[in-house]
Amino acid sequence: MKLIIAAIKPFKLDEVREALTTIGVRGMMVTEIKGFGSQSGHTEIYRGAEYAVNFVPKVRLEIVVADALADQVVETIAKTAKTDKIGDGKIFVLDVEQAVRVRTGETGDDAL
């Protein structure tokens, strides 16, 4: 099983969720975060004065899927969340050791 962590622009969340459900993803966890990437911060003008914006709001997705689905999930997120502007985000893939469904006690791929 793989854990896919993705940081995307908040307004892209609905699109990404829909695209993922289409390819068979049945669950995810979403958190609101602040962050910055390689192009850290930018300046904005407010009341004539410039100030640096160090942290930008993002949305963090955590999705655990069977190994077979992982690549497709990464591809789907990358395609749907892209806006061709800076701050589009990042996707990371990690290995998952175990998964358990709380209601039934199922483990492994059956828990997903």
CB of 108 to another protein, least distance (A): 37
Q: Which is closer to another protein, CB of 47 or CB of 103?
A: 47
Mask for 1-30, x = binds another protein (CB under 8 A): ------------------------------
Can you give the C-alpha Rg of the chain in angstroms?
A: 17
Coil/strand/helix, residue 90: strand
CB of 35 to another protein, least distance (A): 14
Let me know the angle formed at the C-alpha of 98 by 63 and 67, rounded to the nearest 5 degrees: 55
> Contacting another protein (CB under 8 A), which of 50, 84, 95, 97?
50
Burial environment of residue 63 by CB neighbours within 10 A (0 to 12, 13 to 18, 19 or more): buried
Q: Which tokens go with 25?
A: 């993803």
Residue 45 within binding range of another protein, rule CB under 8 A = yes
Separation CA 100–CA 112 (nearest Å)? 8
> Contacting another protein (CB under 8 A), which of 26, 47, 85, 103?
47
Stretch of 13-21, 42-50, 75-83, 85-93 lying at the interface with another protein (CB under 8 A): 42-50
> Contacting another protein (CB under 8 A), which of 26, 46, 84, 97?
46
Let me know the angle formed at the C-alpha of 42 by 15 and 60, rounded to the nearest 5 degrees: 35
